Chain A
């Protein structure tokens, strides 16, 4: 069984479009995250949610909005996509007090 899953795996779209990436975890964790990994492989946290509350919001443009319908899901919605948004987006989950974050397989977003 997949612990952390993301859909879609690949997403190719035009500048200016709006898109969503979905994430689900079946580990029972209470915290979920979104990371962005750029072309230089730098992994940077964007958001985390704990028990449906946003607890970290780094300097991310407000075109990005996380939505968590329940503690097993954390979706990422992106408005008005820009070329610089092209990257791999990873979802992850963990216990708040845990040592390990489990990562999903990633979504490769390409904005043309």
Chain B
């Protein structure tokens, strides 16, 4: 069974610090990787996606992918209290259509003012 693993947290960081969220996946042939943010009581929203090994930056967010280690991470620089949410890692497994995603259980992030 194709799995996506995340530390459930909670991960607490002080305001202004870097938050590092990690995700591992079991299917070595996975092609694309996504980070969704979900506020309590709300629906998931896409923050970033990454396809290639290395880093991808968007504002305060950086996604990092290492396919050899089957590892993807999300760094949030200058963390703000508004970043407090659950972050879901999602993977498009090999052989699936481009639309099929397997989600991890999420990491709850708390940014302390």
Contact = CB atoms under 8 A, between A and B. Distances in A.
Contact of A45 (B86, B98, B101, B105): B101
A96 B99 contact: yes
Contact of A41 (B43, B97, B102, B106): B106
**How large, as a class, is the contact surface on chain B?**
20 to 34
A104 B86 contact: no
A99 B103 contact: no
A99 B49 contact: yes
Given A42-B103, A94-B99, A100 B86 contact: no
Interface residues of A, number: 24
Best-buried of A31, A45, A94, A99 by chain B (most CB within 10 Å): A99
Contacts of A101: 46, 99, 101
Contacts of B86: 41
A101 B103 CA distance: 12
Given A41-B86, A41-B106, A43-B103, A55 B43 contact: no
Given A55-B97, A106-B42, 9 more contacts: A31-B99, A43-B44, A44-B103, A50-B99, A90-B44, A96-B98, A99-B34, A101-B99, A101-B101
15 contacts: A40-B105, A41-B38, A43-B103, A43-B106, A45-B101, A45-B102, A94-B99, A96-B97, A97-B98, A99-B46, A100-B46, A101-B46, A101-B99, A103-B43, A103-B44
Interface of A: 31, 33, 40-45, 48, 50, 55-56, 90, 94, 96-101, 103-106
